[in-house]
Amino acid sequence: MTTPTAEPGRDRFLIGIVVGTLLLIVVSVIVVFMLGRTRTAPPADTSTPAGVVQAYIEALRLGEVDRSRTYLTREARADAEARDKTNTYRPTPQNNVRIVVEQVSVSETRAEVKVTTSRFYASSDPFSSGSSHYDTTVNLVREDGAWKITQPFETYGIY
């Protein structure tokens, strides 16, 4: 009795499919690791009012209170420091927040920037949006040649 033998061409074809599949898996994993990473925001341009507000928010979110205060006017900084003596609470950064900074108006000495804070929640209700949005208007003035925020707004929950 003779045993059936596989044709030589069929073995190469099967090996080609296996090797091709493995190669495709390896390339896919590499692409996911290389391109799938979260892109970081570009550094804030502190020569613009929106950039100052962005840098201020970044400093607050990182817990760098002293750095955040450098973006405030002298008067706003003094108010914030006086408030710190009576209130030592510091909120922790949250990952379910999206912050959009938009420049609204700019003149030689004054600027207005809108900050939209969106919070996202897990919601079991099918008719709920699972999010909330809050707009904050930030006023800036030129002080010593640089844009400075006139009122600290860390209390508005931009974290």
Give residue-wise pLDDT tens across range 69-83.
999 999 999 988 888
What type of residue is 20? Answer: G
- 39 vs 25, residue with greater confidence: 25
- 63 vs 1, residue with greater confidence: 63
Q: Within 13 A of 92's CA, how many CA atoms are on the CB side?
A: 1
Give residue-wise pLDDT tens across range 89-125.
555 556 677 888 888 899 999 999 999 888 877 766 6
Options 3.10.450.50, 3.40.50.300, 3.60.70.12, 1.20.1560.10; CATH of 49-156: 3.10.450.50
In percent, the amount of the chain with pLDDT more than 90 equals 34
Q: How confident is the model at residue 155 (pLDDT cuts 50, 70, 90)?
A: low
Give the pLDDT confidence score for residue 152 in this predicted structure.
82
